Amino acid sequence: MRLLLVEDEPEVASFIKKSLEEGDYEVTVAMDGTMAWETINSFKYDLLIFDLMLPGINGLELCKKCRQQKILTPILMLTALGATDNIIMGLDSGADDYLTKPFKLTELEARIRSLLRRIRPAENEVTEPPTKNSLAFADVVLDLDEKSVTRNKVPVELTATEFRLLEYLLRNPRKVVSRMDILEKVWGYDFNLNTKVVDVYINYLRKKLDKDSKLKLINTVTGMGYILKEVYNEDPN
């Protein structure tokens, strides 16, 4: 597995690199955003780790540039700030996950494993039989082979994380799923974490899937989580 770590603090960078290399990752370090962008365009990586504050191009801008260029490699953002605004900005700019500094190395490794697992499902993971390659609910169809989604036959562009979130909801229709369930099944975490990221992604999915429709499918159950069911709403906003 080839990782690119973009971190301008040399001591932090070399500590992370050394530790990850013990875990059999191949780690390239870029010390600033400009160098990182050149590297990303020259080599293929399995995962990108961006520090938020960087000289040259900052972590948010790097995320945006990658996604604009259709580079879909998973991105983990490192932020020293931890404020919700920065986390949301990071996710808005196309990052798949974030980690607040200071973090434990075991947590970084867990996040990396989880992100990589999402692009390369484990061999023992249950796969759908070949005849059943799509999931549907109301007028939503999710094609597991093509990784495409339509609503009322109109294509809906989703990111990899949004796709997995929708897939999970479609596999559990008309059933309340908690934020922790979603975090565990969609993000692959089996330890307790802030579930804010779930709310952020539910909102993304709603904007793309439910915004223009009077039939709302993704619904909040206060204090419990979310449910996929048909709720007819005259006011589309």
Footprint of Ca ion (CB under 5 A): 8, 51, 53
Residue number with CB closer to Ca ion (51 or 167): 51
- Tell me how far the alpha carbon of residue 14 is from its chain's centroid: 26
Residue number with CB closer to Ca ion (101 or 211): 101
Tell me the closest approach of the beta carbon of residue 7 to Ca ion, in angstroms: 6
Residue number with CB closer to Ca ion (53 or 138): 53
- For 231, residues 6+ apart whose C-beta sits below 8 A from its C-beta are 215, 216, 217, 219
In the bound state, the residue with its beta carbon closest to Ca ion is 53
Tell me the closest approach of the beta carbon of residue 6 to Ca ion, in angstroms: 9
CA distances (Å), origin 110, targets 34, 134, 170, 179: 28, 30, 26, 19
- For 162, residues 6+ apart whose C-beta sits below 8 A from its C-beta are 201, 204, 205, 208
User: Before 102, cis peptide (omega within 30)?
Assistant: yes
Residue number with CB closer to Ca ion (53 or 81): 53
Tell me the closest approach of the beta carbon of residue 52 to Ca ion, in angstroms: 7
Tell me the closest approach of the beta carbon of residue 12 to Ca ion, in angstroms: 8
